[in-house]
Amino acid sequence: MIEVTEIRKSYGAVQAVQGISFSIKTGEVVGLLGPNGAGKSTTMRMITGFLTADHGTITVEGINVADDPLGARARIGYLPESAPLYLDMEVTDFLRYIAALRRVQKNVVTGRVRDMVDVCGLGSVVGRPIGELSKGYRQRVGLAAAMLHQPSVLILDEPTSGLDPNQIQEIRAVIRELGRMRTVILSTHILQEVEAVCHRALIINKGQLVGQGSLTELMAQGHSQVRYHVLVNAAETALRDRAGSLAGVNLVACHAASTNWREAVFESTTTKPVSGEAIFQWTVANGWQLRELRRESASLEDVFRELTQ
Amino acid sequence: MNTILTIARREFAAYFTSPIAYVFLTTFLVLTGFLFFRSFFLIGEADLRPFFMLMPWIFLFYVPAVAMGKWAEERRQGTLELLLTLPVADHDVVLGKFFAGLGLIATALAGTLPMALTVSLLGNLDWGPVLGGYLGLLFLGGAYLAIGLVVSSITHNQIIAFILGVMACFFLLIIGEPIVTIAVPPALVGVVSYCGLGYHFSSIGRGVIDSRDLVYYGSVIGFFLWVNYRIILQRR
């Protein structure tokens, strides 16, 4: 469980985070979204105690980060952006070192390290210094180090950056699995990632929380107008002439798809969605053939663009 | 205590994962050996005092090199974020790094022991002052190291950390020398020369271990480690 209230942080004159509040329950995977420089990493760094908030309070599993920084840090597993690691260390030596500093009991360290090597698919790189590993493997070592002590809170700053599509699928599966009984925050600017693994998203822009909610909630609040794409075999002039007889929608664009076919884009004039049947009836009434009628569904990308511009 | 040891052990081992530590140690031993034996056979006395008097100057370049990467590299690589988000107290990290550096200094000093043995074989060496001298060197090295760590913690660049470290140690070394004290008001000469790192070493080099000198070095080490701790705390 993470509770963040009105946190602020500035670097000199730059206000990186300006009063963000949110709370995340156990068993929730939350995506922190936002353009570059929005304050995602700064927010995560304040929760993990790498930076101290200028103002506001943060509690992790009921522990105030400012009052008991070590206690809070002990409950967090953190993967910093681009997974910084000690490049001169061998993979399992590194994991053992982190385990020692995290005071993982000596008799379970070996087992834990073996588990993490399995979960993160590190079997083929055991025995090699981290400096020799590719970006994707380093990312996995970082993830293994973050989960080694079985933390109840997991904070991952761009966990899948630099991974290939297969690895991304694997890591997402791991995160989804972990999210069942833990609190997970991950930052990303890949929107599909949020759709794939998160229950809820927090959208941050210019240091402020500009939107939050489950994915369906966000999509509902984002899209005000519904668009229809219609592909018909009609002349452009005829299309434009007859468009007026269609109630509830405006013709916003019309262009040639091929010699006979035109693609027309209609936008609803009200927020109430118009049914596609009306458009179908309209083309039939005009004696045109209809090849495609598509309602543009609101995507997280639209919401993101709307909220962060 | 355990944490300090874990960090110190890892940081000490890290010196030897790159060739740098070996280059440092070799250069250090060759240089000190050459400078010492060059005059040793001319003077013809079984005495290590020239060696001890030489060391503050050799350490001036050696110790900042030991300290330079300790924080600067962590900042450059981003691993500072990893280290400072572990449930480890900041002062333990500072002490861990200090003892790792002190370990490398002690290793270098241990490497000069064959030199002392050679001298004792050639003549009648008084081991009391020699042991005292080594102890003093460890304290002097510790003081340089603490200063070097502070400098390393304020930059991302090892080279800058090295040069600033040498300058800072040099300043504290010469402050007690006559060439500096001649320029200060007579009433302050005592105070100023007391602050000099070199002033306290000269008596140790003669084989006199005065608790006041050790207290002085202890205070310098303590003070700069505290400054280091504050800097780390401040950057959060």
**Run of H or E including A274:** none
What's the CA gap between A80 and A48, in Å, rounded? 10
Of A162, A140, A138, A191, whose CA–CA distance to A304 is shortest? A191
A101 vs B78, B79, B86: nearest CB: B86
Q: What whole-number percentage of chain A has pLDDT above 90?
A: 40
Ordered by start, the domain boundaries in chain A are: 2-221, 223-308
Nearest-Cα distance to chain B for A106, in Å, is 13
Q: Does B19 touch chain A (CB under 8 A)?
A: no
The listed CATH number (3.40.50.300, 3.40.50.2300, 3.30.450.20, 1.10.10.10) that belongs to domain A2-221:
3.40.50.300
Contacts A71 to B, Cβ<8 Å: 87
B14, A76: Cβ pair inside 8 Å? no
B81, A50: Cβ pair inside 8 Å? yes
ipTM: 0.89
Of the residues A47, A50, A54, the best mutation for testing chain B's interface (the one with the most B CB atoms within 10 Å of its CB) is: A50
Domains A2-221 and A223-308 share a fold: no
Tell me which CATH homologous superfamily contains domain A223-308: ACT domain (3.30.70.260)
Q: What is the rounded (10 degree) CA torsion for B9, B14, B16, B19?
A: -170
What's the CA gap between B211 and A136, in Å, rounded? 56
A49, B81: Cβ pair inside 8 Å? no
Mean pLDDT of chain B: 89
Nearest-Cα distance to chain B for A69, in Å, is 8
Tell me the per-residue pLDDT of A126-156, one tens digit each, with 9 for 90 and over.
Answer: 999 999 998 889 998 999 999 999 999 999 9
Average pLDDT estimate for B219-230 = 95
B7, A80: Cβ pair inside 8 Å? no
Report mean pLDDT in 10-residue bins for chain A, 309 residues.
92 89 91 88 93 93 92 94 92 95 92 90 92 90 92 92 83 84 88 85 90 78 71 85 80 82 81 73 87 76 76
- Sheet of A55-60: strands edge to edge? A14-24, A2-11, A55-60, A63-64
Number of residue pairs across A and B with CB atoms under 8 Å?
Answer: 62
What's the CA gap between A288 and A278, in Å, rounded? 14
Ordered by start, the domain boundaries in chain B are: 2-234
Q: Does B87 touch chain A (CB under 8 A)?
A: yes
Model confidence, pTM? 0.84
- Sheet of A290-296: strands edge to edge? A249-256, A262-268, A227-232, A290-296
Tell me the per-residue pLDDT of A65-116, one tens digit each, with 9 for 90 and over.
Answer: 999 999 999 999 999 998 999 999 999 999 999 999 999 998 999 999 999 9
B3, A101: Cβ pair inside 8 Å? yes
β-strand partners of A187: A32, A157
Q: Does A61 touch chain B (CB under 8 A)?
A: no
Contacts A48 to B, Cβ<8 Å: 85
Q: What is the pLDDT of residue A298?
A: 63
Nearest-Cα distance to chain B for A267, in Å, is 49
B87 vs A51, A73, A87: nearest CB: A73
A213 φ, ψ (degrees, to nearest 5):
150, 180
B6 vs A82, A101, A129: nearest CB: A101
Are the beta carbons of A145 and A137 closer than 8 angstroms? Answer: no
